[in-house]
């Protein structure tokens, strides 16, 4: 069966019903392994046990940016190929992305309290993640405002792509504006500066977060397809009643 067959929403639904349980189980197992490893990981020599917040914080930060990338790809699918499944993918990803960004902000500020002595500082990275959160909320608000799903998807796709152009600019300008946060320590040129004993659980947690996102995204896409079918059925019913 060629991959393009899954573009058909009905085929996609059967695929989801087959894959989703496995994904959910895989996510649970990955979380179990990752959390156990995180608990067993040594404390940081400076930060003590609070370094464990990192295992929740850092993967959500990666996902908060990764999900915008997923939405941008879906936006291309919407605008270039007019693909209904791309509409659904973009719409389903936005609230999940906002949730992961919020988790990143909350865990970050809980980590900041013992480390920096305050819940919030207007430092470069915190600020740009905060702006990312606002942009997610903007996209979600746009979906709320539009009444017709396909038009909403196309307009949100335009906003998503403009956001994708704007995000690096925001990141750069906020870095320029103020920097107080530690520089990137995992994804950077050369070897990671983080110790392997801390890095291994972190990567496991990243895998768990990714699986969680994949499962939530597929489930949300399925719900959105069903919601649209309900909407169409209701419209048809109303049309019949009127005529």
Partner 1 sequence: MSALAALYWRDLRLAVRAGGGAAIAALFFLIVVALVPFAVGPDLALLSRIGPAILWLGALLASLLTLDRLIAVDAEDGSLDLLMMTPMPLEAALAAKALAHWTSTCLPLVILSPVLALLLNVEFSAMPAIALTLAAGTPALTFIGLIGAALSVALRRGGVLLAVLVLPFTIPVLIFGVAAANAVIVGPAPFGPPFTILCALSLASAVIAPVAAAAAIRHGLE
Q: Is residue 134 a contact point for partner 1 (CB under 8 A)? A: yes
Cα separation, 28 vs 34, whole angstroms: 10
Binder among 27, 135, 205, 218 for partner 1 (CB under 8 A): 135
Cα separation, 61 vs 122, whole angstroms: 17
- The distance of closest approach from Cβ of residue 8 to partner 1 in the complex, given in angstroms and rounded to an integer, is 24
Q: Please list the helix, strand and coil fractions of the chain in percent, rounded to the nearest 5, in that order.
A: 85, 0, 15
- Tally Cβ neighbours within 10 Å of residue 82: 12
Binding mask 41-70 for partner 1 (x = CB under 8 A): ------------------------------
Q: Cβ distance 146 to 155 under 8 Å?
A: yes
Cα–Cα nearest to 131, from 97, 100, 167, 160: 167
Q: Is residue 95 a contact point for partner 1 (CB under 8 A)? A: no
- The distance of closest approach from Cβ of residue 23 to partner 1 in the complex, given in angstroms and rounded to an integer, is 32
Q: Is residue 106 a contact point for partner 1 (CB under 8 A)? A: no
Cα separation, 239 vs 243, whole angstroms: 6
Q: Is residue 164 a contact point for partner 1 (CB under 8 A)? A: no
Contact region for partner 1 (CB under 8 A) — 13-21, 61-69, 165-173, 215-223? 165-173
Tokens read off for 102: 């919020």
Q: Is residue 243 a contact point for partner 1 (CB under 8 A)? A: no
Binder among 89, 174, 202, 225 for partner 1 (CB under 8 A): 174
Binder among 49, 165, 187, 241 for partner 1 (CB under 8 A): 165
Binder among 16, 26, 142, 219 for partner 1 (CB under 8 A): 142
Binder among 33, 106, 121, 146 for partner 1 (CB under 8 A): 146
Burial of 215 per CB tally in 10 Å (0-12, 13-18, 19+): buried
In angstroms, how far apart are the furthest CA atoms of the chain? 75
Closer residue to partner 1 in complex, CB, 36/173: 173
Q: What are phi and psi of 156, to 5 degrees?
A: -65, -35
Residues that bind partner 1 (CB under 8 A): 79, 131, 134-135, 137-138, 141-142, 145-146, 151-152, 154-155, 158-159, 161-163, 165-166, 169-170, 172-174, 176-177
């Amino acid at each position: 069966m060629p991959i393009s067959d899954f573009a058909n929403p009905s085929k996609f639904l059967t695929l989801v019903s087959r894959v989703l349980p496995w994904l959910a189980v895989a996510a649970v197992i990955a979380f179990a392994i990752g959390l156990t490893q995180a608990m067993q990981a040594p404390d940081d020599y400076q930060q003590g046990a609070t370094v464990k917040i990192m295992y929740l914080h850092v993967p959500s930060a990666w996902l908060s940016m990764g999900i915008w990338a997923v939405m941008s790809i879906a936006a291309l699918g919407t605008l270039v190929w007019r693909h209904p499944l791309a509409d659904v993918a973009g719409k389903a990803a936005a609230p999940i992305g906002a949730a992961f960004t919020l988790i990143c902000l909350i865990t970050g500020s809980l980590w900041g309290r013992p480390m920096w002595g305050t819940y919030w500082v207007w430092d470069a990275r915190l600020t740009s993640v905060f702006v990312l959160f606002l942009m997610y909320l903007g996209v979600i608000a746009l979906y709320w405002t539009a009444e017709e799903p396909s038009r909403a998807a196309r307009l949100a796709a335009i906003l998503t792509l403009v956001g994708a152009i704007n995000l690096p600019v925001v990141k750069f300008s906020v870095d320029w504006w103020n920097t107080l946060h530690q520089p990137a320590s995992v994804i950077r040129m050369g070897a990671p500066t983080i110790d392997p004993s801390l890095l291994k659980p972190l990567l496991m947690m990243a895998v768990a977060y990714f699986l969680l996102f994949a499962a939530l995204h597929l489930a949300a896409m399925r719900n959105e397809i069903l919601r649209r079918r309900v909407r169409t059925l209701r419209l048809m019913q109303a049309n019949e009643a009127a005529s």
